[in-house]
Amino acid sequence: MPQNTTTTVWNYSAGPAIMPKPVLQKAAAELVNWNNTAMSVMELSHRSPEFEQILATTEHNLRTLLAIPHNYRVLWMQGGATSQFSALVYNLFGHPHEHVAADYLVTGAWSAKAVQEANRLGVKTNVVLDTTASNHTGSIDPTTIHYTPAPNAAYVYYCDNETVHGVEFPAVLANVPASVPLVCDMSSNILSRTFDVSKFGLIFAGAQKNIGPAGATLVLIRDDLLDRKHPTLVCPVMMDYALCAKNNSMYNTPPTYAIYVSGLVFEWLLQQGGIPAMEKRNKEKAETLYTAIDSSNGLFVCPVAKTYRSRMNVPFRVCDPTTGQPSNDLEKRFLNGAQERRMLQLKGHRSVGGIRASLYNAMPIEGVNVLVDYMREFAATVNKK
Ligand SMILES: *Cc1c(COP(=O)(O)O)cnc(C)c1O
């Protein structure tokens, strides 16, 4: 197949999402012959020394990138972030305390699903913050939250970046009762900015947004939490953190190829200057796009409160200049024009509508600049009428 027929596209998908081009090129170059084994990584036994080496290097690089403390375990699991909504309930609700409830902050579609699953499994949850009534637009004041007092709380749960609604916490959630583990869904913003892992008990992330291919799910867990299983809810083996940790993520066959490609992404991140360099770039990208939205005289509107605007997923509406209301017609026109310019996957989530541009680590600033240029061009055609 000829190599040079692929044309450039800009992929703003929320996930599975854009990958760094050098990573895809390296994976392609090694596809049929990894490290002179005359085999593809996907043909290697997960018990082989070759794969063990890949797994060890991948973990080492991740630990370097995130400065993961020694008392945290890195687990590769399956079933996506969604399976973690269940897994954390089974694993964190028991010993050493008699936990009566878990506190949940509901700030968008994903944290809503997480608490729904905990309730379905029959444990007691307290929704200590819920922005449903304001359509998850980041009307959040963490200082007003009343948490369950320490000995009775199993954990405090929140989603750091709500991928659908574009709501992101500007910093690690503060003022949580000190001895209660903080549990966080970082599926769509892990590796995008520096943060202190030691503030969390458990962090999880599906790979397909900001890590690598779908199929691998990353879990970081403080090791004292490996022994907290619910006393009566029997945890399925595939969701058992302690079992996964004891078997070095290989109780059964792990998603070997997805882990390998994630490892290539970690190498790429290190070459780029690590997380501080990504943070700087991501900040610049997000500022460029939000500035274009906010300076459009109401043609483009982002509904999210400024402090909680996501740097990874930017949702906005295209509004009719005469009514000031979101216009499905203008949004359709905007998306069609984008498609013609090879700017893809800009349609907002079906539950929110409008436009959403995802700007993960792999999206270069050029991808934001072409979008902003197109927005200006589009504004000129609308204003002419
Ligand atoms: C995509 C996403 C999920 C669900 O991930 P799956 O891997 O599809 O289960 C959960 N939380 C957040 C924040 C997400 O972005």
Say how many Å lie between the CA of residue 215 and the centre of ligand 1. 12
135 pLDDT above the threshold of 60? yes
- Domain containing 52 equals 24-271
- Residues 255-280 have pLDDT tens digits of 999 999 999 999 999 999 999 999 99
189 pLDDT above the threshold of 80? yes
DSSP annotation of 259 reads H
10 Å CB burial of residue 120 (0-12, 13-18, 19+) is exposed
Per the annotation, the verdict on 110 as an active-site residue is: yes
The answer to whether position 11 is within a domain reads: no
For the segment 205-212, the average pLDDT, to the nearest whole number, is 98
Same domain? For 124 and 186 the reply is yes
Cα–Cα distance between 174 and 171 in angstroms, integer?
8
The answer to whether position 5 is within a domain reads: no
Same domain? For 256 and 126 the reply is yes
Spell out which residues line ligand 1, taking CB within 6 angstroms. Answer: 15, 80-82, 110, 159, 163, 185, 187-188, 206, 209
The answer to whether position 3 is within a domain reads: no
State how beta strands 343-344 and 300-301 pair.
Answer: unpaired
The answer to whether position 152 is within a domain reads: yes
User: Residue 357 — pLDDT band, cuts 50, 70, 90?
Assistant: very high
pLDDT score of 101: 92
pLDDT score of 385: 63
Same domain? For 260 and 307 the reply is no
- Residues 309-320 have pLDDT tens digits of 999 999 999 999
Which residue's CA is the nearest one to ligand 1's atom 3? 81
- Residues 91-134 have pLDDT tens digits of 999 854 567 899 999 999 999 999 999 999 999 999 999 999 99
Cα–Cα distance between 44 and 373 in angstroms, integer?
46
Per the annotation, the verdict on 21 as an active-site residue is: no
Helix (H) or strand (E) holding 112: helix 109-120
The answer to whether position 10 is within a domain reads: no
- Residues 190-200 have pLDDT tens digits of 999 999 999 99
pLDDT score of 94: 82
Token look-up 């007092």 returns: 149
The answer to whether position 15 is within a domain reads: no
Last residue of a domain, one of 224, 253, 271: 271
Per the annotation, the verdict on 329 as an active-site residue is: no
The answer to whether position 81 is within a domain reads: yes
Same domain? For 263 and 323 the reply is no
Domain containing residue 108: CATH number: 3.40.640.10
Same domain? For 203 and 295 the reply is no
Pairwise pLDDT comparison (151 vs 56), residue with the higher score: 56
For the segment 189-215, the average pLDDT, to the nearest whole number, is 98
Same domain? For 249 and 106 the reply is yes
Same domain? For 267 and 298 the reply is no
Cα–Cα distance between 264 and 40 in angstroms, integer?
15
Three-state secondary structure of 64-85:
HHHCCCCCEEEEEECCHHHHHH
Same domain? For 239 and 285 the reply is no
User: Residue 56 — pLDDT band, cuts 50, 70, 90?
Assistant: very high
Total domains in the chain come to 2
Last residue of a domain, one of 271, 296, 324: 271
pLDDT score of 383: 79
Mean pLDDT (the chain, rounded): 95
**Cα dihedral sign, 326-358-249-27:** positive
Same domain? For 191 and 295 the reply is no
2 pLDDT above the threshold of 50? no
CB atoms < 10 A from the CB of 121, how many?
15
5 pLDDT above the threshold of 80? no
pLDDT score of 172: 97
For the segment 173-185, the average pLDDT, to the nearest whole number, is 94
Same domain? For 70 and 188 the reply is yes
Which residue out of 10, 34, 76, 110 is catalytically annotated? 110
